[in-house]
Amino acid sequence: MQQQAGEFGIDEARRVLGDVFAPWVQDLNLSIEQFDHSPPAAGAADWQPGAILRMPFSERLCRNGGIVCGQALMAFADTAMVLANLAANKGYRPMTTVDQTTHFIRAVTASDVLADARVVRLGRTMSFGRVTLSSATDNKPVAMVSSAFAMLPG
């Protein structure tokens, strides 16, 4: 499933989202809203490859009190970082999560959640990234996530 540099875009990323992940992750109904694999023409110095994903609100993701549970948010952030790594690599590479640290900022209720996932550093065998999870209702952060991934031979 290796791609030539430059061929990998949002359509291929959407295909990977539908084909590669476990069925229960697919049940989250995630969608890719933005996929940034090439720097903008203006060449912003702080640009980082990544993706913005949406997790639609569902009562099935809530714990008591109607609060979206932390487990769903963490799985969402992990999945978003995989897609950000696809953008940074400009194609699919097998990988595995090595570490994920989540800081919950505030509860989210009755709202879709957005994940802005960015690769901070991509090496030959490891990548490091960050995800900001925000409520789609007011665009305020609900969690900050940092993670590390190992790139697998493949």
pLDDT band at 1 (very low <50, low <70, confident <90, very high): very low
pLDDT in tens, 77-135: 999 999 999 999 999 999 999 999 999 999 999 999 999 999 999 999 999 999 999 99
Q: How far apart (Å, rounded) are the C-alpha atoms in residues 145 and 132?
A: 6
Its domain, for residue 112, covers 10-37+48-151
pLDDT at 136: 98
The residue whose two tokens read 């932390």 is 70
Q: Domain for residue 4, yes or no?
A: no
Residue 145 within any structural domain of the chain: yes
For residue 29, the domain's CATH number is: 3.10.129.10
Residue 136 included in any domain: yes
**Residues in a beta bridge with 116:** 52, 132
Angle between the N-to-C axes of helices 10-19 and 70-89, in degrees from 0 to 180, rounded to the nearest 10? 130
Residue 5 lies in a domain: no
* Mean pLDDT computed over 47-58: 96
